[in-house]
């Protein structure tokens, strides 16, 4: 079966102010299948975000992208701005951790969701607004009427993240790139968001590229995992396999909150006090 997204030897190089070339992503090769959720872990600043941005043509003028990224047979990296604009939001959607910063402060939240649909379909503005309202209910923001006319500064972090999710999914994209979507949320909101995403994924057969440093989030959502170090993918495979048997010490460091050379088990937490025991 042809994979939804096929990345081959993708590299992203940035030219910094003093002329030096910084390689953010180096020779990445992997696939994402239909309806599959693939996690991406790695040190902060190692290129995970650049990868997501490159797939949508959002990487900025001082970056050079080489390699290929086939989405349903079409190489994304050969597209011009106009074609990218048609893909963004419609075939591939991106949400990140910025929450309140990702929405216009002077437009109502419901309208901002409707805008995304309006940009990609021929429906009338009113039709788009109706769809947006139904999406607000889908992501659990009720009462829909009040939420629709709210402004971003009136909503909490958890609510904002749901709005961003509605924006991302309203055009039914095939791939969602989620860049640290829960980093700014507290535990309860994180859990709710993960449950919501899981449900929507099942409902729409959505593929997800999940960038998150929290192994708990990856465990709940990711089928397969990619481990990135210094721009290179050093390990990939099924999540469970990698978690239980990581081949690189780096991977261990990224995934395990460790004690005595292995990941903490929930059953033993009550025997632990501070770091003294952990240093065994």
Partner 1 sequence: MNLRYISRRIVHSILLLAGISFFSFALSQLAPGDFFDEMRLNPRISAATVEGLRVQYGLDRSLAVRYAHWVRSALRGDLGFSLAYNGPVGPLLKARARNTLILTGTATLLAWSLAIPLGVWGAASRSRWSNQICGLATSALLTIPDLLLFLFLLLVAVRTGWFPTGGMISPGAENAGLWHGIADLALHLFLPSLGLALVTLPVLTRHIRSAMADALNSPFVRAARGHGIPRTRLLFRYAFPVAVNPLTSLLGFSVATMLSASLLAEVILSWPGLGPLLLEATLAKDIYVVVGTVMLSAVFLVAGNLLADVLLFATDPRIRVE
Partner 2 sequence: MTLPHNPVLDVRNLGKVYVQRRPLTREKFTVQAFENVSFSIERGTTLAIVGESGAGKSSLARCLALLETPTRGEIWSNARNLLAAKRSSLRAIRHEVQMIFQDPASSLNPRFNAREIIEEPLLIQRIGTKVERREQALTLMRQVGLPPEWESRSPLEFSGGQRQRLAVARALALEPKILILDEALSNLDLASQEIILQLLTDLQKAYDLTLVHVSHDLWLVLQVAHEIAVMQNGRIIEHRPAKELFAHPQEAHTQELLGAMPLPEAILERAF
Name the site residues for partner 1 (rule: CB under 8 A). Answer: 56, 58, 84-90, 93-94, 96, 98, 101-107, 112, 115-116, 119-120, 151, 153-154, 167-168
CB of 112 to partner 2, least distance (A): 22
Q: Find the DSSP H helices in 16-143.
A: 48-55, 81-87, 109-120, 125-138
* Residue closer to partner 1, measured from CB, 26 or 121: 121
Q: Which of 206, 241, 236 is nearest to 42 (CA)?
A: 236
Q: Which does 58 bind (CB under 5 to 8 A by kind): partner 1, partner 2, none?
A: partner 1
CB of 175 to partner 1, least distance (A): 13
Q: Which does 260 bind (CB under 5 to 8 A by kind): partner 2, partner 1, none?
A: none
Q: Which does 265 bind (CB under 5 to 8 A by kind): partner 1, partner 2, none?
A: partner 2
CB of 65 to partner 2, least distance (A): 22
Residues 189-212: b if buried by 16+ CB within 10 A, e if exposed? bbebbbebbeebbeeeebbbbbbb
Q: Where are the beta strands (DSSP E) in the chain?
A: 5-15, 21-32, 37-42, 63-71, 74-75, 92-96, 175-179, 207-211, 224-229, 232-238, 258-259, 262-263
CB of 204 to partner 2, least distance (A): 22
Binding site for partner 2 (CB under 8 A): 41-46, 156-157, 183, 185-191, 213, 215-216, 218-220, 240, 243-244, 250, 253-259, 263-266, 269-275, 278-279
């Amino acid at each position: 079966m042809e994979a939804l997204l096929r990345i081959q030897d993708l590299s992203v190089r940035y030219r910094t102010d003093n002329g030096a070339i910084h390689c953010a992503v180096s020779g990445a090769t992997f696939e994402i299948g239909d309806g599959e959720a693939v996690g991406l872990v790695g040190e902060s600043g190692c290129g995970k975000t650049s990868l997501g941005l490159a797939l949508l043509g959002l990487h900025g003028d001082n970056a050079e992208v080489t390699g290929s990224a086939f989405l349903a047979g079409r190489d994304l990296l050969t597209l011009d701005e106009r074609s990218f604009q048609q893909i963004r939001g419609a075939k591939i959607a991106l949400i990140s951790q910025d929450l309140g910063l990702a929405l216009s402060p002077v437009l109502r939240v419901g309208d901002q969701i409707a805008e995304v649909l309006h940009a990609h379909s021929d429906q009338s503005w009113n039709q788009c607004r109706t769809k947006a309202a139904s999406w607000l209910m889908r992501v659990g923001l009720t009462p829909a009427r009040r939420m629709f006319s709210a402004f971003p500064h009136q909503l909490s972090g958890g609510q904002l993240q749901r709005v961003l999710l509605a924006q991302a999914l309203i055009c039914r994209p095939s791939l969602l790139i989620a860049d640290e979507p829960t980093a700014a949320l507290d535990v309860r909101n994180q859990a709710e968001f993960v449950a919501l995403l899981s449900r929507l994924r099942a409902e729409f057969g959505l593929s997800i590229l999940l960038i998150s440093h929290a192994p708990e989030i990856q465990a709940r959502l990711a089928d397969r995992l990619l481990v990135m170090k210094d721009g290179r993918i050093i390990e990939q495979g099924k999540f469970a396999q990698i978690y239980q048997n990581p081949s690189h010490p780096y991977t261990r460091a990224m995934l395990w909150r460790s004690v005595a050379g292995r990941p903490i088990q929930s059953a033993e937490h009550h025997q632990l006090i501070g770091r003294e025991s952990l240093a065994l």
